[in-house]
Structure 1
């Protein structure tokens, strides 16, 4: 084994140490024994600037204990962080990890806070905030799939079992009821197949790449998928999307398929219009039918998972919103004199 005889001098070592700390993605601050922030790393500074803190050192010189304690009573995490810092400054080496949300109007974020004590010329606390957003979103997806499988899919299977049991009891005794039970069992099977397809679509969203996508092709393919149902229900569809190309992907077709199927199954409509306008780098797409519309007391719930006023899976519009959000777009339910009206905004290429 060989050893290097020349060593880095103290000044260079200090600069190297500072560069190492600045290279860490976690947000790090050093707090003195009175609670004042005496140093932060570059990630701390960048995060502060991105979230509106204009101080060049993003809170250096401020009392972090006071800042953490001065929070809304509904956010106890700040006070917990304050207590952990005090414990470390009073002699504890390390403290428990505190997991907390830190959402902005644009995005949801989660962090873990760790506090560690160090000794130099006095006692200091090193406060580290670790971004765990990817992990939390993965956990949300897993819980969403688990709850859907355990609740919605199980309910559909139980319905099928019930109708088949009734059918078995009525064999050779009541032909009319037998036919009714068979139809209900078939409908439950169809509902289950649609539910599985929606779950599969939700899983695909995570892997979907955002690429330039021709809006007209997406809408044409969506209409063709339900061509028979559209003809059977005598629905007229008008489209005018100005050859717009948006940043989306193959799952965008699921958006329009869900909207069209909702109009066919629930709206009792005779006409659907899909139009678009462009403004700078945004394409605004309006989807509107002339059907029954959505009752006022249900409007705020239409994108919620599991919500359905018609006895469906409650996943259709929830899936639509997830896909649009994945493309960094937005979808809104707009006021309309008749029928339902959605406004979708996506980035142009």
Structure 2
């Protein structure tokens, strides 16, 4: 820096750490007071002005000052000059000065630019401070455990939820222990870090942790590597109670299904023995009704089993043509008995679904065969962008208005059945990422049948 500008260089550190406009203006004026460059000077600012040598920038300001403010650039010539202080395209102040003879011509402009840079830097620091406060408030108030750690498990930062999750008194105590000490199985920690190193992130990573008091808890973790790949940012969701409830539900569900199945088989056996004892026609009618109730119970158990099975399986490719042909072949005998024809045109489409997708088609087709009083059922499938639209249409009596909106709920039951067939179908489709609906086919104001519509993701798009 030239000798005449050394006084500016000395003021730069002080300007960088300024916290207010008043500080910046004060430093600029002090800088100019101490210099041997200016004979006289003044500062004109937008809004109010209070310190000495600071005036309000308005219509009463000197012409040279107004010219600089209006043009947005330095004004004047010779020794008398005015330079605007511009921040984000707006003139917020003008520095006026009368320089001594022989001084740097652009020195006032340099000071104005330095003032503008200092004010801009101050605004950035203010916004960063606000962002940091907001960020910290969000982190501290989060119900999930959030942490930043090194690869070797040293905790750099953690929120209160994580401290509570591990059962420590405070953050310092948790930091001293380190996150690697919380793993029930140390090999899982190695696996976790290895996965992070390879993939840079982990999602839905379930880990058993040990709290300070020895209690085992389960966390579902999301984490990623940041910086130079040496820092881990993670979020741990406490799923201990959820896992406990899931295990209990699975246990009681299995127990209930097993016991109900066995008891139903016993009842069915006794009913069969009873029907072989030469009962009257009326008594046999009662026996058959009892058998029907037992069969419905058995069907209910199977439906519940299928629903649980569907929840636990991953989506996999389904050849729509093969699935539909399998279902139609199973129902041909039932359809023939009622004089119903089923038509299906191959589509060549493969969809994203689950192994129980055939159960959906079976339930809908069976519903039409048993209840629609139709003569024909037409099944078609077309591709629309990333979806497969499947339509199952009959020419029967349609869906009664009173049950149409609830047909995929557990409320609807037909012929004394358990009412889970179409409910199960709706659940399976939704778990496969699709949608299902029904409407009546209307011609000239008359109902001419029902149309079931199913939308499923195309397999390739689903994978992506």
Q: Which residue of 2 is the match for residue 340 of structure 1?
A: 450
Structure 1, unmatched stretches of 5+, are 1-35, 40-58, 69-83, 95-111, 113-127
1:283 Cα deviation (Å)?
Answer: 0.6
Structure 2, unmatched stretches of 5+, are 1-129, 144-159, 171-218, 220-234, 443-447, 460-464
The one of 358, 361, 365 equivalent to 1:260 is 365
Greater shift in the superposed pair: 243-252 or 306-315: 306-315
Matched, 1:272 2:272: no
Structure 2 Cα separation of the partners of residues 191 and 324 of structure 1: 23
Structure 1 Cα separation of the partners of residues 324 and 348 of structure 2: 11
The one of 233, 236, 246 equivalent to 2:351 is 246
Aligned CA distance change for structure 1 residues 290 and 199 (closer, same or farther; 3 Å): same
Contact between 2:310 and 2:354, CA under 8 Å: does it hold in 1? no
Contact between 1:37 and 1:62, CA under 8 Å: does it hold in 2? no
SS of residue matched to 1:302: coil
SS of residue matched to 1:346: strand
Q: Which residue of 2 is the match for residue 135 of structure 1?
A: 242
Structure number with higher strand proportion: 2
Aligned CA distance change for structure 1 residues 226 and 310 (closer, same or farther; 3 Å): same
Alignment of 1:139-150 (within 5 A): 139=246, 142=249, 146=253
Contact between 1:219 and 1:256, CA under 8 Å: does it hold in 2? yes
Matched, 1:226 2:331: yes
Contact between 2:387 and 2:458, CA under 8 Å: does it hold in 1? yes
Q: Which residue of 2 is the match for residue 60 of structure 1?
A: 135
1:306 Cα deviation (Å)?
Answer: 5.0
What value does the CA root-mean-square deviation take over the aligned residues?
A: 4.5
Larger Rg: 2
Alignment of 1:1-349 (within 5 A): 60=135, 130=237, 132=239, 135=242, 139=246, 142=249, 146=253, 164=271, 175-337=280-442, 338-349=448-459
SS of residue matched to 1:226: helix
SS of residue matched to 2:441: coil
Greater shift in the superposed pair: 299-308 or 220-229: 299-308
Structure 1 Cα separation of the partners of residues 422 and 324 of structure 2: 17
1:256 Cα deviation (Å)?
Answer: 0.7
Q: TM-score, normalised by structure 2?
A: 0.42
Aligned CA distance change for structure 1 residues 317 and 179 (closer, same or farther; 3 Å): same
Q: Which residue of 1 is the match for residue 28 of structure 2?
A: none
Aligned CA distance change for structure 1 residues 217 and 133 (closer, same or farther; 3 Å): farther
Contact between 1:208 and 1:251, CA under 8 Å: does it hold in 2? no
1:208 Cα deviation (Å)?
Answer: 2.4
